[in-house]
Amino acid sequence: MSASHPNTYPKLHNAAWPGVVGKGGDAEPPIPLDTMLDLTAAARVDGIGFDGVDLFLFEPHVNIDASDADLETLAGKVRSRNLVIGSVVAPVWPPTGGGSAMGGPEDRAKFLAQVRKGCRIAKRLRELGVRPHGVVRLDSACGVADWTKDPEGNTEKIAETFRQACDIAQEHGERLAAEGEICWGGMHSWKEMVKLLERVNRPKTLGFQADMAHTLLYLLGYNAPQDAILPKGADLSDKAVVDKGLTTLTAALRPWTIDFHVAQNDASVHGSGTHDKTGRHCLPNDPNGKLDIARHAGFWLRDAKGQLTKAFKHVCWDGCMFPNAVMMKPETWNSILGAMVAVRDAHGWR
């Protein structure tokens, strides 16, 4: 906090998983967690730094089967850099040991086993005093093409899997957030996302995780043209056009939103490594970015009357699949932190 930046909430977090997601194999090598923590801790804007990090519970960053001793070491690493941990991502996908939420009994059991392990880690990090807030994030871990073979039946299977995941989360005192993203079956459009949340009907335990880059693609109906909010060929350089679309989108999904990613997008898609094509994350100052980040974040952080929702205590930057050379530059993180500070200046509180 400073005279020019008086707000202290929401806390500002950086995602560590850009060092892992879309890396490895034929892609660039992963960036170690220690390096991501160092880059995060070093960023400064007007004397303000990041408050914490959000984590992907998958190696080489965090072993989903980490022992209590491993988690104590992790907590120490984060604390030593004057950071905390917020939301964590359960590795529910088949390539990371999970399974499709709409698959057969074996796949769904693997999915739920990863949720249980993720909730156990989240709870333990709370007990260690290094995780004051945040959720456990998941998605359907299945593709859109497979989902479309039986939309109604598959959405019900996903909903039932998510209900069981909610039971697990409640056992651990955790909440779950489903990340809306165009590449996940049953969650690939805003209408299907709302339908799934309503079908699960566990609003105290399962909410929505809104990423500004991914939800921009919801407006365009990228994998669900029938659900597009904006007409084909809409001029996204006209912020009034984006405003109109976000007004409709956030009216439907904001009441469910319990986790939030600040991000930029140029209205295109991108995939790398084992990650399917999804909304392309851009740097905050990308000249092709379609979002006025600080202003458009307000559509999610404020209700229809303009009042702050205060629905979550931290927000997180997400910038997956940037080249390693970009992520190793300190100025990258200073620029990102500057965008985060601007969001808190506009929509924060003390």
pLDDT tens-digit readout, 242-263: 999 999 999 999 999 999 999 9
pLDDT value of position 1: 59
- Give residue-wise pLDDT tens across range 128-140: 999 999 999 999 9
d(Cα 180, Cα 300) in Å, to the nearest integer?
A: 14
Give the rounded percent of residues in the chain with a pLDDT score beyond 90.
Answer: 91
Average pLDDT over residues 41-68: 98
Does pLDDT of 236 surpass 70? yes
- Give residue-wise pLDDT tens across range 295-305: 999 999 999 99
- State the DSSP H helix or E strand holding residue 278, giving kind and residue range, or none if neither: strand 275-279
Residue 1 lies in a domain: no
Residue 183 lies in a domain: yes
Which residues on neighbouring strands pair with residue 308, listed in sequence order?
302
pLDDT value of position 111: 98
CATH number at 22 reads 3.20.20.150
Residue 26 lies in a domain: yes
Domain count, the chain: 1
Residue 178 lies in a domain: yes
pLDDT-based confidence at 214, cuts 50/70/90? very high
The SS3 call for residue 265 is coil
pLDDT-based confidence at 268, cuts 50/70/90? confident
The SS3 call for residue 321 is coil
Distance of CA 249 to the CA centre of its chain: 17
d(Cα 78, Cα 80) in Å, to the nearest integer?
A: 5
Average pLDDT over residues 318-334: 93
Average pLDDT over residues 311-334: 94
pLDDT value of position 273: 42
- If one counts every other C-beta atom within 10 angstroms of the C-beta of residue 145, the result is 9
Residue 104 lies in a domain: yes
How many degrees, rounded to 5, is the angle at CA 184 between CA 178 and CA 185?
A: 105
pLDDT-based confidence at 274, cuts 50/70/90? very low
DSSP state letters, 188-203: SSHHHHHHHHHHH--T
- Give residue-wise pLDDT tens across range 185-204: 999 999 999 999 999 999 99
**Domain carrying residue 73:** 11-347
Average pLDDT over residues 131-159: 97
- Residue 290 is given by DSSP the state -
Does pLDDT of 272 surpass 70? no
Which residues, 6 or more positions from 122, have their beta carbon under 8 angstroms from its beta carbon?
Answer: 88, 131, 134, 136, 172, 174
Residue 323 lies in a domain: yes
pLDDT value of position 136: 98
Does pLDDT of 279 surpass 70? no
Does pLDDT of 276 surpass 70? no
Residue 16 lies in a domain: yes
Average pLDDT over residues 224-252: 95
pLDDT-based confidence at 277, cuts 50/70/90? low
Averaged pLDDT of the chain: 95
pLDDT value of position 59: 95
The structure tokens listed for 105 are 């009994």
Does pLDDT of 121 surpass 90? yes
Q: Which of 3, 10, 8 is nearest to 302 (CA)?
A: 10
pLDDT-based confidence at 321, cuts 50/70/90? confident
- Residue 349 is given by DSSP the state B
Residue 4 lies in a domain: no
